[in-house]
A = this chain, B = another copy of it.
């Protein structure tokens, strides 16, 4: 067994190697052209950073499926041999999911009235509401245009487009449930899991599955890949909710416990409420600026006592194990091991 910190370093360096490729492809697929302000706003968050986890999953699935050997630096993702040996532009598919992710962030920040994202002003803060709505709308259709450029046979393109379109619909449904849940105190774990499946996990699922579709994998493999993405995507979201409570504010880049202050539903609060914790009065203030570290500490202590944080941790761990199992349909190789390690990393990361 490799030392966990070494393994984490290896995952991060594998992600970084693929991120470089994705970062180079984004301006190629989405050049700033007339009307410049619209395209500058569309590119703003994409250029501000991001781990590119979803495109990395897509590219790594491609490598695992086709048993590509060696470092990703040597792989030409623009002319990537599919399962019949024909070249397809796998990078176009990878960029399309990152572009969709960026569109959802821009519109979500408007809805949540968030002012900061990736350490820079949210797009609506920087460019105004109108341009932010339009920038999101532009990325939306560009993602479909980009996905149409893989050069895969038409049947596969149709399947990939269908997956991307239905994924976007589900993301909207998930965001709508999330907004509705803020007004409700009786959300059950199953409802919460449905919400994060739609809001977060389907784009991981689509990333993994679309690599299979574009490269010509069989239906059972595509289904297994979709399942892997759903599992690790849900684990990722649950871990995000745990980190909001447990990671110091400085490291988190925002106030620790802000979900509690803002009455956001998480698997932790849903569990706690069902185990007798009066979640609404855990933190008295509803102003993120005014809450104290001591208040958050007390709240976290009570959530620990109710077993809610451990329950969330265990749920995320179970999902990751389930997701890794699904990868058994893939050939055993470095890229498959990366997908397994990536799943572990999503719940072991500390921010």
* Cα distance, A166 to B146, chains bound together (Å): 10
Within 8 A of B (CB), among A128-159: 129-131, 133-134, 136-138, 140-142, 144-145, 148, 153-155, 157-158
B158 touches A148 (CB 8 A): yes
Q: A24 interface residue, CB < 8 Å from B?
A: no
* Cα distance, A179 to B38, chains bound together (Å): 11
Given known contacts A148-B158, A155-B154, A158-B148, A131 and B35 CB-to-CB distance under 8 angstroms: no
A133 touches B110 (CB 8 A): yes
Contact of A138 among B34, B134, B162, B172 (CB under 8 A): B172
Quickly give the copy total for this chain.
2
Q: A322 interface residue, CB < 8 Å from B?
A: no
Q: Which residues of B contact A161 (CB under 8 A)?
A: 144, 148, 158, 161
A162 touches B145 (CB 8 A): yes
A134 touches B35 (CB 8 A): no
Closest to A162 in B: B148
Contact of A137 among B37, B130, B155, B168 (CB under 8 A): B168
Q: A107 interface residue, CB < 8 Å from B?
A: yes
B137 touches A165 (CB 8 A): no
Q: Which residues of B contact A138 (CB under 8 A)?
A: 169, 172-173
B172 touches A141 (CB 8 A): yes
Given known contacts A37-B180, A169-B142, A180-B35, A134 and B158 CB-to-CB distance under 8 angstroms: no
Q: A176 interface residue, CB < 8 Å from B?
A: yes
Given known contacts A144-B161, A161-B144, A130 and B38 CB-to-CB distance under 8 angstroms: no
B176 touches A37 (CB 8 A): yes
Q: Per-residue 0/1 for A290-314: is the Cβ within 8 Å of any B Cβ (1 yes, 0 no)?
A: 0000000000000000000000000
Q: A75 interface residue, CB < 8 Å from B?
A: no
Closest to A34 in B: B173
Closest to A130 in B: B111
* Cα distance, A168 to B138, chains bound together (Å): 8
Q: A23 interface residue, CB < 8 Å from B?
A: no
Contact of A148 among B148, B165, B177, B179 (CB under 8 A): B165
Closest to A161 in B: B161
Residues of A within 8 A of B (CB): 34-35, 37-38, 107, 110-111, 129-131, 133-134, 136-138, 140-142, 144-145, 148, 153-155, 157-158, 161-162, 164-169, 172-173, 175-177, 179-180
